[in-house]
Structure 1
């Protein structure tokens, strides 16, 4: 009773849904440009000095940026345990590929410059490419599958069960709409990586990044528009068929869900959420304009706005659904029936209120200290101390 007077279960669920979105968007905004730079590496840098210049734009910050991914996974585990169990089980092989690609990054950073052999360094350069491209693609594919719905159901004791074999689950993710979402994700992060290189690099690397980033931004905008049209005319949404207790027990089977209408009906019910896709399109358009005009800081900020709009539009469009089921809509996980307990969410909120400002302050300080461009002269003059 006392806890409910401090902050209700309904409010805590809503807050942790929003905080999960903040963590995932934070990951896309920070580690997103790391992945983008990695995927751009073979194309923007032609010589070893240029490749070292490119790598050193992200070398000091990539590890801190990846913390947002860990925080997001931890938040899912602690605040939304059914979501963690269902998604990590169903996407197991895809997550394994993502983690394997991400593990290549620190190994490549540490080992690339250990030997001067061009073949050795080229191998690790392609490892950095894989570490950027594969997660960018598969994260987008995962988002596309969440919008389509996932083939799972819950048993009466709430155990998640999936249809098909392990390989079938992996290749079953490669549906046309999901692949389009993957393309949007890759193009978006290539644009973001190019915006970062425009800010942090100079010379030929910067110029090539601006050209490629301009094309990637246009592809991202067109793909995002096509995905929205596809959602409007070709993909059914999900909806509750009766009133839901927002402070009820975490048991999806107690609610009744039907697959009907369109996801985009959310924009009729909550017109204000149209701001998210508008941010997406405006941010991308202005980032492309900035890349073409040769702007630095504003281009990166516009790119961040575009990513914020695209990622947030998914969560706002689906709300209150988090992971829909194509096999049994009643098993779909939503904000109101798949969270941890009232006490758990409250204790976690207190911890987040203390640690999140510290993380943000430290991150801001790091970027302030590391402000400035990485030039080819820096690389050649500090060969023993840089990557």
Structure 2
């Protein structure tokens, strides 16, 4: 296996790890969105301390795996992976305390969990949106990269729209997960969130695709000396003019299946929520999440962080990689640790199966209370 093949394999592996992290985040986020409502109606601890420990440890393990992998495989990213992982880890700790609803200030902690639960998804989307727009940084040889913008410049309208896409996408997935495991009032409210979040995702995703195709000019990496091989720093140059980042989709027509699957998954989740079929809603939400991230990956490949200030400073999968020896050793380690991480994730999710199931008496009373509420609402209409 040569150096170029290792670079491409690691591009795929990092993409899979990022999709796994976002899926774990999405399964947890539905509870954060519903938490202020649950705080008013679910009074018993429901063995939360035991059930919370496993998802929290899984999430932190995924964060650690992503941070270490990015730092070792793409060393030219510098401190960006560490700063991002540290910020998300801090927000996850706030979510952990937001779940302690049996405290006297339960509602305040619940809203803390809500805000800290929404921020990671929103920030992930904003970061993804800025990759399409490009970041204002330059490279000065041995001096490294220099960022020339302000923090407020990261919140461009298109980046905020992509943040809304990610937020609604993960809210739909998480609410479907809660609907699958919940009883009574919890299941009914999760069904409502699934429907609302799915509708918002469809609208924002289609809006982002149209905006990107109509007004965004992306970049492409062109080989100038050896067109028959994969681009590398010595034989490639960054060129503008890739309108809407559609060059890869024109080169690979099968890549259009990714955005098609994203829309199909969202529609499937909406239909399943309307029919109260939680398992099908979870399947549709997971399909929409994986396909949406895959759509972004197909559009950006091989760029990791493009520069809109100095095109030659853009970081790609070919010039941001570590040494061949590092990539080979990391591939061996990943072949052992990644399956273990996946197995532990599945075990932890199954262990926390009853996290959102209310006690029998509470579920029975809340179900009848909510049924009366729905009937009264329909009668008023």
TM-score, normalisation: structure 2: 0.86
Length, aligned pairs only: 360
Per-residue deviation, residues 171-226 of structure 1 (Å, max 9, x unmatched): 11110000000111111111111101111111112111111211111110111111
Counterpart-to-counterpart distance in 1, 2:184 and 2:7: 49
Q: Check conservation: 2:56, 2:96, Cα contact below 8 A.
A: no
> Structure 1 residues 36, 376: closer, same or farther in 2, change over 3 A?
closer
User: Which stretch of structure 1 is more off in the superposition, 230-239 or 367-376?
Assistant: 367-376
Q: Check conservation: 1:76, 1:84, Cα contact below 8 A.
A: no
Q: Which position in structure 2 is the counterpart of 1:133?
A: 118
3-state SS in 2 of match to 1:153: strand
Instruction: Please report how far the alpha carbon of residue 236 of structure 1 lies from its aligned counterpart in structure 2 after TM superposition.
Output: 0.4
* Mapped pair 1:200 → 2:185: no
Q: Which position in structure 2 is the counterpart of 1:384?
A: none
Per-residue deviation, residues 137-170 of structure 1 (Å, max 9, x unmatched): 1111010001110110111216010114xxx2x2
Instruction: Please report how far the alpha carbon of residue 47 of structure 1 lies from its aligned counterpart in structure 2 after TM superposition.
Output: 2.1
Query: Cα RMSD (Å) of the superposition?
Result: 2.8
* Mapped pair 1:174 → 2:168: no
Give 1:1-387 correspondences, 5 Å limit. Answer: 7-43=1-37, 46-49=40-43, 60-85=54-79, 87-88=80-81, 98-109=88-99, 112-113=101-102, 115=103, 117=104, 120-157=105-142, 159-164=144-149, 168=150, 170-243=151-224, 255-262=236-243, 263-372=245-354, 374-377=356-359
Structure 2 segments unaligned to the other structure (5+ residues)? 364-381
> Structure 1 residues 55, 317: closer, same or farther in 2, change over 3 A?
farther
Q: Check conservation: 1:44, 1:209, Cα contact below 8 A.
A: no
> Structure 1 residues 222, 28: closer, same or farther in 2, change over 3 A?
same
3-state SS in 2 of match to 1:61: helix
> Structure 1 residues 209, 148: closer, same or farther in 2, change over 3 A?
same
Counterpart-to-counterpart distance in 2, 1:158 and 1:242: 26
Q: Check conservation: 2:182, 2:356, Cα contact below 8 A.
A: yes
Instruction: Please report how far the alpha carbon of residue 108 of structure 1 lies from its aligned counterpart in structure 2 after TM superposition.
Output: 3.5
Counterpart-to-counterpart distance in 2, 1:260 and 1:240: 11
3-state SS in 2 of match to 1:327: coil
User: Which stretch of structure 1 is more off in the superposition, 259-268 or 49-58?
Assistant: 49-58
3-state SS in 2 of match to 1:157: helix
